[in-house]
Structure 1
Amino acid sequence: MNIVLFRRDLRVEDNRAVAAAFVAGAPVIAVYISTPAQWQQHCLSPMQADLIERRLKALREELSQFETPMIFIECLDFDSGNQWLVEFCIKQRIEQVFFNREYEVNELRRDEDLVRQLNKNKIQSQSFDDKCVFSPGSIKNRQGSYYKVFTPFKNEWMKRLLVGGEMTQPFMRAEPKPKPKLNIDIEGEFDLELTQAEIALNYPKMDSRSWHSDSEAIQEVLNDFCINKSCDYQQNRDFPSVDGTSQLSPYLAIGALSARQCIRALLYYSRGNVTKGGDIWLSELAWRDFYTHLLVAMPKLSMNKAFLDWECKVAWSGDRNHFQNWAKGQTGYPIVDAAMRQLNTTGWMHNRLRMIVASFLTKDLHIDWREGERYFMSRLIDGDFAANNGGWQWSASTGCDAQPYFRIFNPTSQGEKFDSDTRFITHWIPELKPVPVKLRHKPWSWDQAESLDYPPPIVDHKVEREITLGMYKEAKG
């Protein structure tokens, strides 16, 4: 009997560990270990926790179609989770454990410890690279090192999708689907109860029902994007009031969908002739790989360290009150506040807005990017450590291939450019509806601004910009 261990790969379809476990020949038991204390340390958001719980319930039902029981068990942290799993394997005479790798430092240490304990007890294990389109470390520059700039990484990444000048997917063959393995005998009454125990995460949760949890519905979202939205993606993706993004990031974050599935769907519906919009969307998937590859190449990124060493000299001087204003959407800058209110309410934020609010926190309020990184993870339904860390360091100009430190978004002009009709800001800040449209991105300039139930700007962007330039120049030396 074998075990397939689920983590952030909550799908049966196109799952390398699942495929290998079923191909191995022995009956398979699925196991998911909840570790609430570890999640608390990692700032797992309540909305993502709710989505994970709902997805686990759907996954158990999907696995039942393959006569595969699923054990849900709660352990305090990674160490106790490993201890339970090894003891279970010994008791049930498990032959092999199959799992997909995770790349953050704590997760890598967890898996090294697990393999060591399994080996000690003569239990085999197999691990797989499943998260990325191309395995971390497999895309290198001419010097045999990892890429420190995204564009050449993307170019090499794209080459691997190209054959004969056209998009094809010879390497993208889906993993074989499981086949039923009958007659599983789990010893002991208690252990049998584990396969029937209710899936309920002992962790704070927020309602995630606006997002799907079953595979068919998630696949339909992907298909709809590829058929109806991808061709206009480059035109619509920057405008938060337009439904122009894929809305797939929550499913990618918990592994309910793989990046390979996304690429296969795009190639299928475009018949291999990917549009400009589709090409831009592929670049976004390449960014996800890029940031995950960096985690493996630079373990310090998982340890609260910046990619650029001089970042430790930046004199982050922002105060806690300003952070609270930012977090609540009460800065007096409408595009920033609307974005933060969207995040706090829905657990999701438009990508353009993520850059704007991150720039504002670090370069207008001079608050350490780590504070924003943690806050995002504590709220995002699509929280993914590598992507979130990479995005924050890009905005703070401290990361790999980040925007130059002197590039500082003006929150007012960004709002005017990407929400010119103010549909987005008035949806999230209805207090601004009395303000004339042409003044809504700078409501403080309205002659009746004092009548609004909306704060004036907490800082002067022009002043803070100059402070930021000096702060970074001093840090760089």
Structure 2
Amino acid sequence: MRLVWFRNDLRCHGHTPLTQALAGGDPVIALYLLCPRQWDDHDVAPLRRWYVLESLLELGDTLAAKGIDLHVLDAGDFDGAVDTLADFVAEQGVREIFCNREYPLNELNRDRAVARRLEQYGVRLHGFDDGVLVPPRTLSTGKGTPYTVFTAYKKRWDQWMDDADPGALPAPAWPASSGASKKGRFYGRDRVEALRDGLDLPDTLTAPWQPGETAAYRQLYDFVEHQLGDYKRYRDFPAEPGTSGLSTALSAGTLAPLDAYLAARRALADSGAREGAATWIGELAWRDFYRQIMHRFPQLATGAPFRPETRLLQWHDNDAHFQAWCEGRTGYPLVDAAMRQLVRTGWMHNRLRMLTAMFLSKHLFIDWHRGERFFMQHLIDGDFASNNGGWQWSASTGTDVAPYFRVFSPIRQSHRFDPQGRFIARYVPELAELDDESIHEPWKQPLLCPDYPAPIVAHKGVKEFVQQAFRQAGDAWRQQENGQ
């Protein structure tokens, strides 16, 4: 008996473990382990849980229609997953397990514990890397060290992808396609539905989203056909439908990264879409980059900053400022619109993720860990590697060369990327009646917007303050290292 263990790869297309398991000719069953306590520990947003559970329901129906049984068991957390999987393997007579690798530290520790336990039973564990385009330990510098600067990594990443010249993964050889008439069973559907219904999310939050593999691939094809060519031109403007919106599908695995890459690569042959396609492929490279950083520097999963000297930064402990940031009441319209978008929809435009993260960690000088957690608690596409990488980039504790000089002006960003204030008006309606100029700096017209707060901090002087704070942390770190 062969077992396909599904994790963050809730699809059948572009799924090497499933394809390889079915290629052997032996009976195949599938398994998914629910770990709700682990979701709690990892601050997984309720909306993301809903998306995963709904996608799991579709996966179970798809597998059943193809003659494959899916078993869904409640393991509680990753520690419980080891015992639950071992018991299931013994009960079902499984001799081989096929799954995609996962790279965060807790997931690695779980899989190592599983491998040790399965070895006692003589069960082989086959791991694959469908969750990325280039596996995390594939690329190294000439000195054999991990890449820590994206531009250098991207250059090597492009070379590797060109040399590999990947083609589409073969489709699974379903048992039903060879004449079998047996329909598969979906064991544990009730567990999935109960967990989903227990979330009790309002329809206004879930209605805009379409979970599952079918919707993800339809969204990919629609993006490539209608928006990819203009991606570079419009991707930074939150009022425009300029992004792919596929981050959720990629993070939950309802869409294979390879299929996204191949669709964009085909568009490179179209002169009208070439620039947009190349830019979007760059975003897929960023996704791989943050995964290899996370995997090769596992201390990041314990809350450590990438730049060790930044542990000594003296963050401000201002709960009132943090709450104003969470609620979109900072007095800076684009920052507030972005935070309200996050809370209202479970998603935030990427340009605005950088802006709001930099505002919290630079203007308010509040510990970036607090913002990182808040994002995970709300984002439908919450992904540890990308979220942590983005926050550390914005806070200048991550993979940068001269990081603390980077301080976005919320006013300049507002004028540049929402020039008519259309995005601001959508999420900060108390400013909707202001003209295109005043909507970016409403404090200049306080009588016209009495319900909107004044800026809680000034932009002037932030850069100089941050520079000084980083210099002091660096000096203190060097003194510690020198034993002074």
Provide the TM-score with structure 1 as the length reference.
Answer: 0.93
CA distance in 1, matches of 2:12, 2:402: 38
Q: Specify the code of the residue in structure 1 equivalent to 2:451.
A: D
Which is worse superposed, 386-395 or 1-10?
1-10
Shift of 1:469: 2.2
Whether 1:171 aligns to 2:166 is: yes
Counterpart residue number, 2:130: 130
| Contact 2:34 2:73 survives alignment (8 Å) | yes
Which is worse superposed, 250-259 or 451-460?
451-460
CA distance in 2, matches of 1:246, 1:382: 13
Counterpart residue number, 2:478: none
Deviations 1:68-107 (A, max 9, x none): 1111111211111221111111112111111111111110
Shift of 1:413: 1.1
| Contact 2:69 2:186 survives alignment (8 Å) | no
| Contact 2:426 2:432 survives alignment (8 Å) | no
Q: Output the aligned Cα RMSD.
A: 2.0
Counterpart residue number, 1:378: 377
Whether 1:33 aligns to 2:33 is: yes
Counterpart residue number, 1:4: 4
Q: Specify the code of the residue in structure 2 equivalent to 1:32.
A: Y
Change (3 A) 1:194 1:403: farther
Shift of 1:183: 9.1
Structure 1 alignment gaps of length 5 or more: 164-168, 187-191
CA distance in 2, matches of 1:135, 1:30: 24
Change (3 A) 1:231 1:452: same
Q: Give 3-state SS (helix, strand or coil) of 2:175's partner.
A: coil
Q: Give 3-state SS (helix, strand or coil) of 2:71's partner.
A: strand
- Residue pairs, 1:273-352, within 5 angstroms: 275-352=274-351
| Contact 2:326 2:339 survives alignment (8 Å) | yes
Counterpart residue number, 2:54: 54
Which is worse superposed, 225-234 or 267-276?
267-276
Counterpart residue number, 1:404: 403
The percent of aligned pairs where both chains have the same amino acid is 38
Deviations 1:194-224 (A, max 9, x none): 3554523266363433222243332121112
Counterpart residue number, 1:226: 224
| Contact 2:6 2:30 survives alignment (8 Å) | yes
- Residue pairs, 1:103-252, within 5 angstroms: 103-162=103-162, 170-180=165-175, 194=187, 197-200=190-193, 201=195, 204=199, 206=201, 207-252=205-250
Q: Specify the code of the residue in structure 2 equivalent to 1:79.
A: D
| Number of residue pairs matched by the alignment | 466
Q: Specify the code of the residue in structure 1 equivalent to 2:250.
A: L
Change (3 A) 1:205 1:129: farther
| Contact 2:10 2:212 survives alignment (8 Å) | no
Counterpart residue number, 2:443: 444
Whether 1:268 aligns to 2:266 is: yes
CA distance in 2, matches of 1:331, 1:467: 19
Q: Specify the code of the residue in structure 2 equivalent to 1:349.
A: M
Which is worse superposed, 400-409 or 91-100?
400-409
Whether 1:413 aligns to 2:406 is: no
| Contact 2:56 2:212 survives alignment (8 Å) | no
| Contact 1:69 1:195 survives alignment (8 Å) | no
Change (3 A) 1:410 1:73: same
Change (3 A) 1:370 1:157: same
CA distance in 1, matches of 2:267, 2:139: 27
Change (3 A) 1:252 1:389: same
